[in-house]
Amino acid sequence: VFADPPSTVLPSRTLGQKAALERYNAFMEGAGEVLSALESTPVSSQSSSSATARPADGGAPAAAAVRHHKYLTNSSLLHLQLRDGTLRSHVLTQLLVVLKYLAGNHASLPTGPINATPGGDAARLTQQINKGQVKQLAALDRRARDLLRATSGPDAVNLVSWLLKEREAGWKVWKKNRCMPALDRAGPPDVSGRDVRALLLSGRKRKARAAAGGA
């Protein structure tokens, strides 16, 4: 779900409402279990990102003693990773990104086949289900932010909030303006994204010709 929410938990041409709802509910349940596990396991004082602050005596940062269990694959060793502030920050940040995406596309959330009673309003029932889903997403979002604040401090929460709100809005406007101005090339501001793609393509062609000549 972290890698591709649209094709994983949202209805599409290849994923029906019923299957999407099952996956969505499984994701929400799993996200809740992850948050509960983090809430019941306090972050290590040595692995917390806040420990990177330099001591008052001018000594080395306490974070130098952090043990990052990055490559543990045995599930029985997971308890070691739950106390790792870096791991917690990564997981919580990714979860906040997904929750923000799903909340922003709440009209597309799966509701499953609606079988309204005779005389009932199926559209109204769908709206009620959707409102409940939005509340669930908001509740998980609050829990994730509280955990991130406890792990990495308020600055980390503020940064993620700004990125998800301001930068995402700016990105959408930039895409709507056909990638103008180009962000990946130094030059005049009126260079379009199409010009950049053409330049990259010509560079690949030159490399291919050079490789063929060398062979």
pLDDT value at 65 more than 50: no
Q: Does pLDDT of 49 surpass 80?
A: no
Buried b / exposed e across 9-37, counting CB within 10 Å, b at 16+?
Answer: bbbeeebeeeebbebbeebbeebeebbee
Question: What DSSP character marks residue 32?
Answer: H
Cα(60)–Cα(58) distance, integer angstroms: 7
Say if residue 64's pLDDT is above 50: no
pLDDT in tens, 111-144: 876 665 666 677 777 888 888 999 999 999 999 9
Locate tokens 């008052």: which residue? 56
For the chain, state the CA radius of gyration: 23
Q: Are 196 and 204 in contact (CB under 8 A)?
A: no
pTM for this model (two decimals): 0.68
How far apart, in whole angstroms, are the C-alpha atoms of residue 161 and residue 155?
Answer: 10
Percentages of the chain per state (helix, strand, coil), in multiples of 5: 65, 0, 35
DSSP state of 186: -
- Are the C-beta atoms of residues 106 and 130 closer than 8 Å to each other? yes
What is the per-residue pLDDT across 143-181, written as a single tens digit (0 to 9) for each? Answer: 999 999 999 999 999 999 988 888 777 777 877 887 777
- If phi > 0 it is left, if psi is from -120 to 50 it is alpha, else beta; for residue 193 that is alpha
